[in-house]
Amino acid sequence: MALILPVLGKSPQFGNNCFVAPNATIVGDVVMGDDCSIWFNAVVRGDVNFIKIGNKVNIQDGAIIHCTYQKHPTVIGNHVSIGHNAMVHGCTIHDDVLIGMGAIVMDECIVHSNAIIAAGAVVLEGTVVEAGSIYAGVPAKKVKDISQDLIHGEINRISNNYIKYASWFSEHNNAPNK
């Protein structure tokens, strides 16, 4: 059973049709939209600030979503995929974004819409990622603009696939019913 706990009187809230893996952890001031999925060993920790997650967001295996005490909440838009073992901390992720496997997005970053953060990239504190671009490396830098084909072929495809994958586990869903 997933670990879902209140912190300081604030409990996680789930939209409709959300999947939470049995060993995921979600605590505190977390508000999640519809059609989201929190996968195996993922941690969403809204204990020191709030976390707001839009619709059709998938937080893949081993990913960590956290924030900074009294300074930086984490806000994630719609149609966002956060790859395996990625870390998203005290930042803003706009709509239609792919955060690659093992990537780190640090405090005060803003990742604008239709962007990709490459696998293993480290987006340093305060970085503003341009809309429609790919950032890669350590530290992450813009490497190219994204074509409309890549936006629809990768960003949207992955987001939609995770809704399908979550449906495979619907009989074992651990998200509290509304």
**CATH number reported for the structural domain that contains residue 55 in this entry:** 2.160.10.10
Collapsed DSSP state (helix, strand, coil) of residue 161: helix
Band of residue 147 on the pLDDT scale cut at 50, 70, 90: confident
Q: Give domain status of residue 159, yes or no.
A: yes
Q: Give domain status of residue 175, yes or no.
A: no
Q: Is the pLDDT of residue 177 over 70?
A: no
Inter-residue contact 70 to 87 (CB < 8 Å)? no
Inter-residue contact 65 to 86 (CB < 8 Å)? no
Q: Give domain status of residue 78, yes or no.
A: yes
Q: pTM here? A: 0.95
The H or E element containing residue 142 is strand 141-145
Q: Give domain status of residue 94, yes or no.
A: yes
Neighbour count for residue 22 (Cβ, 10 Å) = 12
User: What pLDDT does residue 85 have?
Assistant: 98
Q: What is the average pLDDT score of the chain?
A: 95
Q: Give domain status of residue 173, yes or no.
A: no
Collapsed DSSP state (helix, strand, coil) of residue 155: helix
Q: Is the pLDDT of residue 176 over 90?
A: no
Q: Is the pLDDT of residue 111 over 70?
A: yes
User: What pLDDT does residue 172 have?
Assistant: 64
Domain range for 48: 3-168
Give the count of domains, the chain: 1
Q: Give domain status of residue 85, yes or no.
A: yes
Q: Give domain status of residue 129, yes or no.
A: yes
Q: Give domain status of residue 176, yes or no.
A: no
CA dist 109 and 30 (Å) reads 19
Collapsed DSSP state (helix, strand, coil) of residue 176: coil
Q: Is the pLDDT of residue 178 over 50?
A: no
Structure tokens that stand for 36 in this block: 């989201």
